[in-house]
Each structure stands twice: as structure tokens, then as C-alpha cells.
Amino acid sequence: MTLEQTIKDILPLDYEAMARAKVHWDSLAKPLNGLGELEKLLIRIAGIRRSPSIDLRHKAVVVLCADNGVVAEGISQSGQDVTKIITENLSNGTSTVCHMARAAGADVIPVDIGVASEVEGDRILHRKVAYGTRNMAKEPVMTRAQAIRAIEIGIETAYWCQRQGYDIIATGEMGIGNTTTTSAVVAALLHAPVELVTGRGSGLTTEGLHRKIQVISDALARWKPDQHDPIDILSKVGGFDLCGLTGLFLGSAACGLPAIVDGVISGAAALCAARLCPTIRDYLIPSHHTAEPAGALLEQALDIHPILDAHMALGEGTGAVLMFGLLDAAASLYCNGNTFDDSNIEAYQPLS
């Protein structure tokens, strides 16, 4: 599935299915809009699935794994070997998100889209575009063709998840240095000051943070990515994980598979997807407020309103995974709750 064809295949949400879901919510023996944002999210899921019948039992966390050449500039506390280790841990079930996913009844699907070395594991989808990106401090991180290929891998992964029978996915990533690439992409997309959108990532000193800001600023000044062209931005200062996530959002929308936005990295990819196809905005299911500085700006740009605020900054899709439990609880009521007729209770009426 090509990027161009995928964008053509993305339709507006099914508003008839959403209206029917709203009617069903209002028929249940509870106060109108009693579950607040959770009711709205399930109505949106009905629009994505193009049916008021909602089943979220089969869940997956899709984690795009890739290395970033900018790590050579000392902008991270860890080296690239950690990306390989955690990618393999995602496969064997010992990484952080794996424990949380098991609690939520979700499968973890690591995708090697650009790890800098070979990785081994039965659950890894091997989709490597290259062995990591180039260093943005020295040259553009990838070619435009590589960026498009990585986006299309994300699209293909969404369709793969649909064929595997998943009802909903959470989006995650793993790659040392990817808060640097994310800050660069967000600064370019929003034409925002680098220092406003750059944080300490997994734990930089103040000196390290200043170095990170300088590296990003210099790269943006040198390569001059086009604010109006997300692919140009991704190819000059992005990462393969960001490209893959961008495609994952596009592909999920095209095939009617609900996808949950995780933190700042996932959010930056969602904004790239929305710039390529504005209809995507209606498909985005937010999860949590991120501790990274760019988070609030991304939420504003995407007009999404996360309902969790736990000051998380872990990555791997961990914030998105927490949404599974909330959505499951809401879906249980939606699918099984007594109606006013069942309960012999007079239905609530909308207030004027």
C-alpha cells in the first residue's frame, strides 16, 4: 500500500455509526454523559470502525524501534546498544511495556524499522530500512525515498495488525536519541523555538540539555526543513521510528483500526500524519499528558485532550497501554449495561 493511495483511502468518520452509538449510550440506565470523555471516545471508535458494535478484546502495542545517528553528539545518557537490548526485551516479554501490556491483556509487537545492529527475537517484525539514521549534525538523516519507505512500512504494519484480528492498537517507540529528533521535528512543524520544545529526555544534565538544544538549532539552521512538508522535515531531522509511526496512524485510519496516541514522540508522528492528511485528526485517540515540553504544544496543534495526567515520560507506548483498561471498562458498560427499559427506570432527559 503506497502513501499516496493510503491518503486517498482515508474517509471521514462514519457519523451515522457515531449517532447510533450516542443513542445507545443515552439508553443505558445512568446519567446522560455520565462517563464523560470515555463515552466520547467510544463514540469516536464507532465512527472509526464504521459500526456502533464495539469489541476491543484483541489489543496490541506496536513499538517502532530505530536508532538515531545524532547520539554521536552526546545528546543522550545512553548509547545505541540500549536500543538493541530493549528491542530484544520487547520480544522476550521483559521490557517495561510488556509487563503493563500483560496486565491489559495486550500483545506487544516490536518492529525493527532501523535498529543500528541485527536484533533477534521471535516476535520482532523485521522491517529495517537502514542501520539507523545519519547524524543530523553532519548531514540530513535520511533520503526522502527512505522516509517514504519508512512511512509505508508503518502503513503496512497497520494492515498487518488488522489481518491478525486486532481490534485496537497502542502506538509506541524505542530508540536512543529519539527525543532529540522529536524536538527537531516539532520545532520545524510548529516553527517553534527549539528551547521551548526540548526537554531532558531520559535524564540529561543541564549542560547536556544545552548541548541538545544547540545540536537541534544548528541542524535546523543548516538543513532548513520545509515547515509545510512533513516528509522533508522527517528526512532531514527525524527518525525511522517517527516515520513508521506516521504511517501507522495513516494506515490505521485507512483500514478502520483505532490507534491510541502515546506521548510526545507518538504525538509528533500524529501531527506529521495530520499534515499529510487532515482527516486523521478525527481518528486520533489520546492517552496521557507527556512530561516533555513539546507535549502541550502538540495537544493544542492536534486538538486532542488526553484524559490521563501521571507525569509519565517512559515511552515504549506505556501511556497508551493504560488507556486499554479505561476503554475496556467503558466498553463493558456500553456492551452489557442495563437500559432504562430493562431497569424500569424513567429515562433521563437532556437539560435545556
Give the DSSP letter string of 215-229.
HHHHHHHHH---TT-
Q: How far apart are CA 259 and CA 283, in angstroms?
A: 8
Instruction: Select the more confidently predicted residue: 342 or 252.
Output: 252
| Residues 125-158: tens digit of each pLDDT | 999 999 999 999 999 999 999 999 999 999 999 9
Contact, 153 vs 125, CB < 8 A?
A: no
Amino acid at residue number 2: T
User: How do residues 231-275 score in pLDDT, each as one tens digit?
Assistant: 999 999 999 999 999 999 999 999 999 999 999 999 999 999 999
Query: Per-residue pLDDT for 352 more than 70?
Result: no
Contact 85, 124 (CB under 8 A): no
Q: Please report, rounded to a whole number, the percentage of residues in the chain having pLDDT higher than 90.
A: 89
**Is 173 among the residues known to form the active site?**
no
| Cβ neighbours, 10 Å, residue 342 | 11
pLDDT over 80 at 49, yes or no: yes
Q: Which residues are 259's β-sheet partners?
A: 169, 284
* pLDDT over 90 at 326, yes or no: yes
**Residue 275: C-alpha distances to residues 42, 233, 240, 270 (Å):** 25, 11, 18, 9
- Cell 496543534 identifies what position? 301
**pLDDT (tens digit per residue) in 191-230:** 999 999 998 877 788 888 999 999 999 999 999 999 999 9
pTM for the structure as a whole? 0.97
Distance CA 309, CA 287 (A): 9
Look at residues 263, 222, 267 and name the one whose alpha carbon lies nearest to residue 249. 267
Residue of 88, 120, 316, 346 marked catalytic? 316
Q: Residue 335's pLDDT is what?
A: 97
Single-letter residue type at 136 = M
Arithmetic mean of pLDDT, 63-85: 95
Grid cell for residue 155? 502503513
